[in-house]
Structure 1
Amino acid sequence: MPQEILTPEAVAFVADLNRTFAARRDELLALRASRRAAAAASGGLDFLPETAQVRAGDWRVAQAPPALTDRRVEITGPTERKMAINALNSGAKVWLADLEDANTPHWDNVISGQVNLYDAVRGTIVHTSPEGKHYALRSDVRPATIVVRPRGWHLDERHLEFDGRPAVAALVDFGLYFFHNARELLARGAGPYFYLPKMESHLEARLWNEVFTRAQERLGIPHGTIRATVLIETVPAAFEMDEILYELREHASGLNAGRWDYLFSLIKTFRDAGPEFVLPDRNSVTMTAPFMRAYTELLVRTCHRRGAFAMGGMAAFIPNRRDPEVTAAALEKVRADKSREAGDGFDGSWVAHPDLVPVCQEVFDSVLGERPNQLDRTRDEVSVTAAQLLDVKSTPGAATAAGLRAAVDVGVRYLVSWLSGNGAAAIHNLMEDAATAEISRSQLWQWVHNEVVLDDGRTVTADLVRATLAEVRAELAPVAQLDTACELFEQVALAAEFPDFLTVPAYAKID
């Protein structure tokens, strides 16, 4: 299997990208750290004065290709073979083929994901389960357009080395997919489309644009063929939406508004800034919290002013066929959330399960009608300030004992799954990915370091977290990888210095 993907020509292509851009990637990662320190010291962020002319300018991104004009429902999930077929058959307009948070960087997953994408692009992907059930693309459903999410800039890929250093994981994921599939996609009326995660500045968007330009030149693909949608899932990026689109304007397709990673970024960015940035239980921080509302309103306004698509967040619920009442209640919440997004002007939204596609589509159909999107809703009335983006103290909710227990429980359960090679884990009727564990452990870190008092009167301490972790460990035992998962969770939740990403130490524990 690796030899089909890791051909000498493909490896040479990835090597060129790494030799050209890895050093700049390293510089930008160092810039993240200095910017976070400055934000913590000042207690805030602001729109960049040096790019004011970009925000004030009259410019638009490139017009969308036909395959990306209508994105009202996008289904997300890993590139595991059966799930890929189900996503392509789901009736969604787009499949976000996730090589990042819903995947794990086990080398078998990295390579098999590329094999599955290769077959999906060509319409030849099939799968037979151990029980003998056969999966193939349906002839009566238009397959979802493939949009691939590579890993973020911060991750390395140690299974490939160039000039004595690990490859940049983002360039491995992007490069292998682009090399093997760009021409085939064009021949089939689509193109190489991407979601770009974890970005923190327009300079990182500029680097991606330079990568795209070089990749297209190297393979003789017309400039502007690549299209990218950027996940605005970090707080620093929320202050640079215009600038990010501007840097990618010849390759940009839109921006996406998420939840868990955005909250994780808020904690990470202001981890040393004091109690005004302390969040209540993660499940109580909804997209209607004032600072989250400001973020999503600004995203729609920015996108539509620039001719880019505004994509809504994830509906992660997994229907429970054994408990119809739970399913009915959850579907109503999904419907309400998607109705808010459609009413706000979003052009489409994400779901994590095929059964949610009809719900999301019905909501957006009712707003869009025969129109493919809402680019004409420019939301000129929206005006968002830096203070509104950072108004965390107005968030309703409290820190609770149940919330602490849930953070430990879900975080450990997810890490057990991740270490075992499964990055999309069904936990308590929700499809969880790496962002789940990140917000769980970062919230506990924040509560411990700010001596938060729970609703039952106890102060959150390292000892309290450890005691809860021991209880969860006892309940889940015996489970493969449980000991490693608990040790890792304690490490990243209770470290004296906040670890920027738990997937970095987690990566060291897998083959």
Structure 2
Amino acid sequence: MAVPSEKFVSQPARILASTTDYQDILTPEALAFLARLHRFAEPRRQALLQARRQRQARYDAGALPDFRPDTKAIRESDWTVAPIPRALQDRRVEITGPVERKMIINALNAGAKVFMADLEDSSAPSFANQLDGQINLRDAVNGTLEYRSPEGKEYRVGANPAVLVVRPRGWHLPERHVTVDGETMAGALVDFGLYAFHNARTLHANDLGPYFYLPKLEAMEEAALWDDVMTLAEDELDLPVGTMKATVLIETLPAVFQMHEILHALRGRVVGLNCGRWDYIFSYLKTFRRHRDRLLPERGQVVMTVPFLKAYSELLIQTCHRRGAFAMGGMAAQIPIKGDEDANDKAMAKVRADKLREVQAGHDGTWVAHPALVSIAMDIFDRHMSTPNQLHVKREDVKTDRDTLISPCGGTISCAGFDNNVEVALRYTAAWLEGLGCVPIHNLMEDAATAEIARSQLWQWLHHGSLEFPDHAPIDFALFDHALAAHTHRLQKSNAPGARRATDAARLLTVLTHADQLGDFLTLPAYEQLA
């Protein structure tokens, strides 16, 4: 529903791309709405990004993350978040995925309680991808979403679809195709703004939102900015304050020390926190990039039962339930393995064990990446969670401290683990440059977060020097360069996603891995090469 143009500033956002196919999304009123959001938020966003850089500089110099003394009163006082909407009272299984049309339909029909439509880590943010996603989300909200495959198969949303929750990009990511007053807009505000402008009032009228997942936050001030942006949007769209609801992903190491504060900043609209485990591991690596004593073993050994991850998830449950918010579990990235029954059984057993751990720990729900895993996760939560959620499980037994939350886990670095990191980083980056943000590799659904783990571990292992495999063979740049060349050649000769951009991806990974400083995000330099 269009908002009267007189409610908005006179100079709208400017689009630096051809938009012939997107005139009904990029309307003058929508662009004026984006401009209002940008002018309101951009000075604070830039200050918050600068605060991130200063914080990381302190960590690079040897400082360690810790609980904030200036917010102790928030942590120790009694308060709760606003009541949770009826539509989100039961979130026991959530499926996530990109905003491609067929995938949205399949996810909404998968039998999960919630579908997290991802404009962030499982989407490569070409302008066409993001705008196509907005069209698809609008059609889903309006009940008109359908798809016909090239073979003629028709897909439609069923009678009882999952509740839609949208994840915009993080505060750090730009949208170079949209400017206001000559400044590049934040991808977060473009994603949020277009979705809210076109769908918020329809969703509110149907008691279904709008609902959002907020990624990559590092501090309560970043959450407060989101709260203020949503309040502004509600005012501009003539919606009651608090209509928009948010779930926050705790997927950065600094954020785990501010969970009470983040909930407090969003207390009028927050629904819960989520254990974004893969990005959290990446954030641990990035935070301690200069700390040789905090290196982690290969990714396959960094599981949720290791002490620092177990402490993180249990503290999240305790914090959320004390405040009346949901504590969502993490992602199962496995996908079904066709043609190998034994391997598939072992993979699904890992999923069951992970979901059983989560429900028994007190989580209110969990994530899966593939429709085939919905029934597996649902069965576990149905058998062990007879109520819609577990807000009554207070986990007062949890006792953790700073040192536990940052202690590295033991383990090894095998030659196979090193090689897998090279392969995953290369194949994902190449596919991302082709416009794919969610890529199956060796029976795991890889997204930006897992690729970040791979390339960050490679950088650390190589730059801290004198590391060896268990057989005492050295971990060095010659090995990396050889492995990268071999995988690049193999990818070029294949029909796999990313084959056409293999050389570009290899060149980018070479620069990032050899650089003296670990880059903050793979997707920032890669974005400059995205069509």
Whether the TM-score (by the shorter chain) exceeds 0.5 is yes
Look up the SS of the partner of 1:114 in the other structure.
helix
Contact 2:97–2:118 (CA<8 Å) still a contact in 1?
yes
Distance in 1, Cα, partners of 2:167 & 2:423: 28
Opposite residue 69 of structure 1, the aligned amino acid is: Q
Of the candidates 311, 318, 321, which is equivalent to residue 338 of structure 2? 321
Contact 2:263–2:270 (CA<8 Å) still a contact in 1?
yes
Shift of 1:135: 0.5
Distance in 1, Cα, partners of 2:261 & 2:207: 30
Structure 2: state its 5+ residue gaps: 1-20, 494-498
| Residue matched to 2:122 | 102
Matches for 1:276-425 after TM superposition, within 5 Å: 276-369=293-386, 371-392=387-408, 395-425=409-439
Q: Deviations over 1:101-130 (max 9, x none)?
A: 000111110100000000011111000011
Matches for 1:128-139 after TM superposition, within 5 Å: 128-139=148-159
Residue correspondences, number: 505
Distance in 2, Cα, partners of 1:154 & 1:467: 33
Structure 1: state its 5+ residue gaps: none
Aligned CA RMSD, in angstroms, stands at: 1.0
Look up the SS of the partner of 2:61 in the other structure.
helix
Of the candidates 126, 131, 144, which is equivalent to residue 111 of structure 1? 131
Look up the SS of the partner of 1:190 in the other structure.
coil
Matches for 1:66-465 after TM superposition, within 5 Å: 66-139=86-159, 142-273=160-291, 275-369=292-386, 371-392=387-408, 395-451=409-465, 452-465=467-480
Contact 1:121–1:181 (CA<8 Å) still a contact in 2?
yes
Shift of 1:477: 2.0
Shift of 1:335: 0.2
Shift of 1:396: 3.0
Q: Deviations over 1:282-331 (max 9, x none)?
A: 11100001111110110000000000000011011111232222111111
Distance in 2, Cα, partners of 1:11 & 1:376: 44
Shift of 1:468: 1.1
Look up the SS of the partner of 2:445 in the other structure.
strand
Shift of 1:204: 0.4
Look up the SS of the partner of 1:45 in the other structure.
coil
Distance in 2, Cα, partners of 1:351 & 1:278: 28
Do residues 18 (structure 1) and 38 (structure 2) align? yes
Look up the SS of the partner of 2:71 in the other structure.
helix
Shift of 1:61: 0.7
Distance in 2, Cα, partners of 1:132 & 1:158: 36
Shift of 1:258: 2.1
Matches for 1:466-477 after TM superposition, within 5 Å: 466-477=481-492
Contact 2:296–2:410 (CA<8 Å) still a contact in 1?
no
Q: Deviations over 1:456-479 (max 9, x none)?
A: 312222222111111111222232
Opposite residue 86 of structure 1, the aligned amino acid is: N
Q: Deviations over 1:416-472 (max 9, x none)?
A: 211111101111111111112111100000101112212231222222211111111
| Residue matched to 1:482 | 502
Normalised TM-score (structure 1) = 0.97
Contact 1:43–1:270 (CA<8 Å) still a contact in 2?
no
| Residue matched to 2:9 | none
Distance in 2, Cα, partners of 1:457 & 1:467: 18
Distance in 2, Cα, partners of 1:252 & 1:120: 24
Shift of 1:491: 1.9
Matches for 1:34-73 after TM superposition, within 5 Å: 34-73=54-93
Distance in 1, Cα, partners of 2:72 & 2:53: 23
Indicate the larger mover: 185-194 or 195-204: 185-194
Opposite residue 206 of structure 2, the aligned amino acid is: R
Look up the SS of the partner of 1:431 in the other structure.
strand
Look up the SS of the partner of 2:129 in the other structure.
helix
Distance in 1, Cα, partners of 2:313 & 2:277: 10
Distance in 1, Cα, partners of 2:332 & 2:469: 28
| Residue matched to 1:493 | 513
Shift of 1:496: 1.1
Shift of 1:68: 0.6
Distance in 2, Cα, partners of 1:39 & 1:411: 25
Contact 1:401–1:456 (CA<8 Å) still a contact in 2?
no
Shift of 1:38: 1.5
Distance in 2, Cα, partners of 1:13 & 1:182: 13
Look up the SS of the partner of 1:254 in the other structure.
strand
Look up the SS of the partner of 1:4 in the other structure.
coil
Shift of 1:41: 2.5
Contact 1:311–1:346 (CA<8 Å) still a contact in 2?
yes
Shift of 1:372: 0.6
Contact 2:256–2:312 (CA<8 Å) still a contact in 1?
yes
Shift of 1:215: 0.6
Distance in 2, Cα, partners of 1:15 & 1:151: 17
Shift of 1:39: 2.5
Contact 2:81–2:323 (CA<8 Å) still a contact in 1?
yes
